[in-house]
Structure 1
Amino acid sequence: MKNKPNQLKYLKYQKNRNKGFSCRRNFLIFGNYGLKSINSGFLNFKQIEAARKTLVHNLGKNNKILIRIFPDKVLTKKPLEVRMGKGKGAIHDWVAVIKPGIIIFEVKYKDYDIIKKAFFCASQKLSIKTEICYE
């Protein structure tokens, strides 16, 4: 997984408000268990990768783990103690926008107890509240 997209129309976007519920990516397609977000926020590449690694550690390498989000939005930040003006700040981080209801990970697995433990460990790596959803 790359930590930024190949091409964008504009490099720096406005942050916008992250309101409302997700009307897309809110149901399972590929697996029978999923990790669904409860509240809104941003997830950066390091958080997504850490959660993926814990899922692989708990479920094993041979199981299918699908990541349904991608960090394609840029956050900018100005250095400390810099005066106002002089344009928008430099790129600080690439993030994925998370709304309530978006499924972050999907897994095809049989044993619910192992899935519950794996998703709990993965959710500890994320900065948003999550829950387990299933078919």
Structure 2
Amino acid sequence: MPLMPKRVKYRKSQRGRVKGNACRGNTVSHGDFGLQVLEGGWLSAEAIEAGRVTAAQFTRGEGRLYIRVFPHKSVTAIPAETRMGKGKGEPEYWACVVKPGMILFEIGGLPESAAKECLARVAYKMPFRCRFIGRQAS
């Protein structure tokens, strides 16, 4: 089942604009390797779930997967061939606002080659260009 909030203050949100790069959530903090997004936009809850399932199938219980994003934004749509003026449409799906540089998924407890292969499969499911990065030595 796709992710969605338990409760929201307002059912319908405005579209907004994705401006600038991510200044938070742009470093690998939980796992050893991460999948960093290179473009901005909306990431649907279905895409997050597809990535989770792909990673779970690849790892088969080995290692640990961390999902660093959550879909807080409701995206509304009006049915096709509807006349103008009957108000804003109903919520169609939930999405996460993603800025360039954000870490979507992290993986720990796997060797680099396996983690790279796993996150490459996850990146194939994402609607943005992504890259594989490792934890920075601090």
Per the shorter chain, which TM-score range? over 0.9
Paired-residue identity, %: 35
Tell me what 1:95 maps to.
95
Letter in 2 for 1:58: F
Tell me what 2:123 maps to.
123
SS in 2 for 1:124: helix
The answer as to whether partners of 1:21 and 1:101 remain within 8 angstroms in 2 is: yes
Whether 2:2 is the aligned partner of 1:9: answer no
Q: How many angstroms apart in 2 are the aligned matches of 1:110 and 1:82?
A: 51
For 1:1-135, list aligned pairs within 5 A. 3-135=3-135
TM-score, with structure 2 as normaliser: 0.92
The answer as to whether partners of 2:62 and 2:110 remain within 8 angstroms in 1 is: no
TM-score, with structure 1 as normaliser: 0.94
Q: How many angstroms apart in 1 are the aligned matches of 2:2 and 2:54?
A: 18
Change (3 A) 1:2 1:54: closer
SS in 1 for 2:95: strand
RMSD: 1.3
Q: How many angstroms apart in 1 are the aligned matches of 2:51 and 2:110?
A: 20
- The gaps in structure 1 that reach 5 residues or longer are none
What displacement does 1:97 show? 0.8
What displacement does 1:24 show? 0.7
Q: How many angstroms apart in 1 are the aligned matches of 2:126 and 2:112?
A: 21
Q: Which runs of 4+ in 1 moved over 2 A?
A: none
Letter in 2 for 1:72: H
The answer as to whether partners of 1:35 and 1:131 remain within 8 angstroms in 2 is: yes
